[in-house]
Structure 1
Amino acid sequence: MSSVNQVYPVIWQSDASGNAPDRVLLIDQTRLPNEYAFVEISRCDDMARAIKTMIVRGAPAIGVAAAYGMYLGARELDETERDRFLAGLEGVAETLRQTRPTAVNLFWATERMLKVARQTLGSVDYLKQALLETAKQINADDIQTCQAIGGHGLSVLPTSPEKLRLLTHCNAGALATAGYGTALGVVRSAWQAERLERLYADETRPRLQGAKLTAWECVQEGIPVTVITDSMAAHCMKQGMIDAVVVGADRIAANGDAANKIGTYSVALIAKAHNVPFFVAAPLSTIDFSIADGSQIPIEERDPEEVCQVGDTILCPPGVDYYNPAFDVTPASLITAIVTEFGAFVPSQIQTELQSRKIV
């Protein structure tokens, strides 16, 4: 396997020769860690399929991919009359929205692209170009956002010990964003500041994002990483092996309740029981102020095969039933702070604080 230093999971590629259409390159995360390969996407339906099948995953990365998907869908529309074009674009947005219901960045990105189209004056061709430029800006902004999250997260990590041992669940790294990462961005910042001793990565059943993706990213950069099974977190905390937990989020309610990969709630409960600080790192676009609390967050349920099968190996006997929610919701009361690009906030005060600063 070739070594990769800088990871960008969503890349816009223009063909100057004109021999092929401009397209999006996605790192195929379903092939990692065994194969580092890209998938070329030049149609909106293919982008929707890539999001649905988790070729691209992680709320911020899904948002970036959806933004490009909006442009690709716009490019496919033959309408030259403005109102008809905008109606067609609404249909494109709906196709993308149907892919992953929990990741709010998907809805944020499609709405931003629709808003640009509605507010841009000029020909339909000019609107299409404005959509492409907006998608590129969303991509670039996300990298800067994650770097800011990393810095703010570093500032609120425990000051003792000098070298920290952190635990994360799922993948909230460069692969889950446009680059750098949210939770793993905090880890990267700690590593660069020489404050990280080791990262412990839950394997994250049933899709194994921690074992496959988080561990892979750390290996690329030489960050010390130890993979543990999800059921080992309590033992590790009891043994004093974990100084803090840092996870990402796919949607955060106005009161600070946070939805993240299934199993995160369990880690938060364990952290509370062992007085280990528990941080959620996510951009402002992940906060859904339209919902009051986590009970209103839609939870995606996925194919039972993810539970009963790993690769070609069947784990369970025929005839059993399966339950496979992809996410759970961690109550705000279990979260030490939510780290955004604008700083770290006590969950219950995040809406008030952001409003007082005129950020939202």
Structure 2
Amino acid sequence: MSSGVEAIKWVDNQLELLDQRLLPGQALYITCKDSTEVADAITQMVVRGAPAIGVSAAYGVVLAADAAFSEHQQAWKANIAEAIETLANSRPTAVNLFWALDRMQRVIDTLEDSSPPHQSLLDEAKNIHSEDIAANKQMGKLGAELMAASSDTPFSVITHCNTGSLATGGFGTALGVIRHGWDAKIIKHVYADETRPWLQGSRLTAWELQRDGISVTLNTDSAAAHIMKQGDVRWVVVGADRITANGDAANKIGTYSLAVLARYHGIKFMVVAPSSTVDMSLSSGDLIPIEERTGEELTSIKEVQLAPENIAAFNPVFDVTPAELIDAIVTEQGVVLNPTLDKMKALLG
């Protein structure tokens, strides 16, 4: 089973990230030599997808610690906080970012001020990376098994944004389910929403699936209802950047619309995300901070102006799908059907 492309690499004590802004036209890795460059890469969408952001930030802490120890050997711990804060501010919605930084901070707290931090922090970053890949494969298996139990015949699915190897440590969340489902001959075809305005569906998901030989058709976001009406789609499968205690899920803008359409057409809706994406400190999706980006991302493409000059533009990056529209949340720890607060608590112990 293919795991797709390797988007995050640690090479010669530097972080190499596949620049996802250039895909599919060019596969170019950029090298981050310090934590500021990692934070910039996250903010500028060189790397995106909640799990991939968390993994990249963990390696960013390694770079920050190396720099702090080089400059302040006896007091490096006191000089790393600002770098971690910069990483934390790179994207506000993806909870995996903060989860990964918290894990790295716990390791920092165990180290002596005069102890070289490199190996301990690198080991933890690599653990975060490898654990994410393992979690993705487990989620893929669980999600595909759930799909198989719902139908005796192969069917099509719709997905939104990119949730594959590019968005994770490797293999993918929702695309991990699709990869398992395709290999098991449960899924016969995938419809990939283009995902405006960054076009992650057309540039990234279509590219990943095509590379793996999975049957895929690209569609405009606004064609989803028409596709659902044809009757061949049985599941919508998406990822998440944050899931709250009651099962509400924040994901790429347009996901909420898909959930509403799926419910009308009698189509199941699955959210696939690692348990690190679940934020039990927030009671509902109303409390999730929704990132907004510049209106220029809507009014132009590759610096070609498409809209009137100086037009007001609203560009939220995420929306929140209410738990009552979600049929299943799939994590590496298990599956929650028709999520509620009590079911989420039971899942996470």
TM range, smaller chain: over 0.9
Q: Which residue of 2 aligns with 1:328?
A: 319
Contact 1:56 1:62 in 2 (8 A): yes
More displaced, 261-270 or 316-325? 316-325
- 2:177 maps to amino acid: V
Using structure 1 for the length normalisation, give the TM-score: 0.92
Q: Which residue of 2 aligns with 1:265?
A: 256
- 2:66 maps to amino acid: R
Q: Which residue of 2 aligns with 1:89?
A: 80
Aligned counterparts of 1:233 and 1:176: Cα–Cα separation in 2: 22
Is 1:281 the counterpart of 2:272 in the alignment?
yes
Q: Which residue of 1 aligns with 2:131?
A: 141
Contact 1:89 1:114 in 2 (8 A): no
Q: Which residue of 1 aligns with 2:175?
A: 184
Unaligned runs of 5+ residues in structure 2 are none
Show CA shifts across 1:125-170 (max 9, x none). Answer: 0x33201110011111110000000001011115325212010000
Q: Which residue of 2 aligns with 1:206?
A: 197
Show CA shifts across 1:38-89 (max 9, x none). Answer: 11111111101100000000000000000000110111112223xx432322
Contact 1:150 1:186 in 2 (8 A): yes
1:259 aligned counterpart, secondary structure: strand
1:322 aligned counterpart, secondary structure: coil
Aligned counterparts of 1:114 and 1:79: Cα–Cα separation in 2: 18
Using structure 2 for the length normalisation, give the TM-score: 0.95
Q: Residues 90, 347 of structure 1: CA spacing in aligned structure 2 closer, same or farther, 3 A cutoff?
A: farther
Q: How many residues are treated as equivalent by the alignment? A: 345
Q: Which residue of 1 aligns with 2:146?
A: 156
Q: Residues 258, 354 of structure 1: CA spacing in aligned structure 2 closer, same or farther, 3 A cutoff?
A: closer
Contact 2:256 2:321 in 1 (8 A): yes
Identity %: 47
Which of 25, 35, 49 aligns to 2:40? It is 49
Aligned counterparts of 1:320 and 1:188: Cα–Cα separation in 2: 41
2:91 aligned counterpart, secondary structure: coil
2:80 aligned counterpart, secondary structure: helix
Unaligned runs of 5+ residues in structure 1 are 15-21
Contact 2:245 2:344 in 1 (8 A): no
Contact 1:199 1:226 in 2 (8 A): yes
Aligned counterparts of 2:152 and 2:29: Cα–Cα separation in 1: 40
Aligned counterparts of 2:90 and 2:226: Cα–Cα separation in 1: 37
Q: CA deviation at 1:108?
A: 0.4
Q: Which residue of 2 aligns with 1:12?
A: 10
More displaced, 314-323 or 95-104? 314-323
Q: Which residue of 2 aligns with 1:18?
A: none
Q: Which residue of 2 aligns with 1:340?
A: 331
Show CA shifts across 1:231-256 (max 9, x none). Answer: 00011111113111000000011100
Q: CA deviation at 1:303?
A: 1.4
Q: Which residue of 2 aligns with 1:239?
A: 230
Q: Which residue of 2 aligns with 1:79?
A: 72
Aligned counterparts of 1:276 and 1:230: Cα–Cα separation in 2: 17
Show CA shifts across 1:296-327 (max 9, x none). Answer: 10000011111011123211012310110000
Aligned counterparts of 1:240 and 1:138: Cα–Cα separation in 2: 40
Contact 1:5 1:220 in 2 (8 A): no
Q: Which residue of 2 aligns with 1:318?
A: 309
Contact 2:77 2:113 in 1 (8 A): no
Alignment RMSD: 1.6
Which of 300, 309, 312 aligns to 2:300? It is 309
Structure 1 segments (4+ residues) deviating >6 Å: none
Contact 1:255 1:347 in 2 (8 A): no
- 1:86 maps to amino acid: K
- 2:216 maps to amino acid: V
Aligned counterparts of 1:43 and 1:80: Cα–Cα separation in 2: 17
Q: CA deviation at 1:5?
A: 7.3
Show CA shifts across 1:1-60 (max 9, x none). Answer: xxx97411111112xxxxxxx211111100001011111111111101100000000000
